Structure 1
């Protein structure tokens, strides 16, 4: 003879909304699916700081600055150059392409922006950004890099 625990009867009126007693006596409950919002890389404050830095960089220098954050793939330089070429004024554009997961930073300049931004200045900006990224400060690194590039490019002519 088998021994076990007796199943107690459940009063359906005591169940929460969305729960029922099935024919077998089991309680089945429906739960609302609540998708989690994707985690964003920046807080609203960091986004505001980044937006301000981009705006100030463009106003001060007369060049167009933008930031791409995402995967660049195995040919990161080629992908960054494609992104740069798709901008409105590629000759006057400076693109900071950052792929944190791949640990890649690319700065792409156009004809006019390259004339005003020396490769040495861009390398120093990358080194500064990478130092911040290593400390876990993605937004701070981007803002710092933008400021350095703005100082290097100087005021609009």
Structure 2
């Protein structure tokens, strides 16, 4: 997809909470009531911006829709990550990096339409790049490293 192009994703009616919408990039934007307390993420704003930029660049460079999930994956991390993959927009074109910080599990899954170029070897490169920052407690830096390495592994060389 070229820069500036948009795709429409069909979301079943009533599947999003009231006040929520899916942006053209596939992210969910949600409003909150003025009286409700904001839920602050465990990451700084600059970290979230850097992760967002890395997701955008990796998606553009690799021609696949990259997503990141941070949270509990359950007792079977692979099954938990598969459930997350099936909930993202266009899962057949998705690459999911799922991290369960409490159990220290990292799972990388690819959709059926992109697995030919983002297979196990590319996933292993991404995990290998993420491990040193993760060991230092730098979760966002590890995710960004994984995104960069994986997208670079499939990006066509420039002249």
Scaled by the length of structure 1, what TM-score is found? 0.71
Note if contact 1:116-1:152 (Cα within 8 Å) is conserved in structure 2.
no
**Greater C-alpha Rg:** 1
Instruction: Please give the alpha-carbon distance, in whole angstroms, between the structure 1 residues aligned to 2:59 and 2:103.
Output: 28
Per the alignment, in what secondary structure is the counterpart of residue 121 of structure 2?
helix
- The equivalences for 1:1-157 within 5 A come to 40-155=41-156
1:105-155 superposed Cα distances (whole Å, 9 cap, x missing partner): 000101122111131221121122122100111111000000011012225
Q: Paired residues, what number?
A: 120
What residue ranges of structure 2 are gaps of 5+ in the alignment?
Answer: 1-36
Aligned mates of 1:61, 1:125 — CA distance in 2: 13
**Structure 1 runs not aligned, ≥5 long:** 1-35
When the two chains are superposed, the root-mean-square deviation of aligned CA atoms in Å is 1.7
* Residues 13-71 of structure 1: per-residue CA shift (max 9 Å, x gap): xxxxxxxxxxxxxxxxxxxxxxx986633111111100000011111222100100000
Runs of 4 or more, structure 1, over 2 Å off, are 36-41
Distance in 2 between the 1:60 and 1:120 partners?
18
What's the TM-score once normalised by structure 2's chain length?
Answer: 0.70
2:85 and 2:122 map into 1 onto residues whose CA distance is 19
**Larger relative helix fraction:** 1
3-state SS of the aligned residue for 1:111?
coil
CA contact (8 A) 2:98 2:106 kept: yes
Aligned residue for 1:72, secondary structure, equals: coil
User: Contact (CA 8 Å) 1:50, 1:143: kept in 2 or not?
Assistant: yes
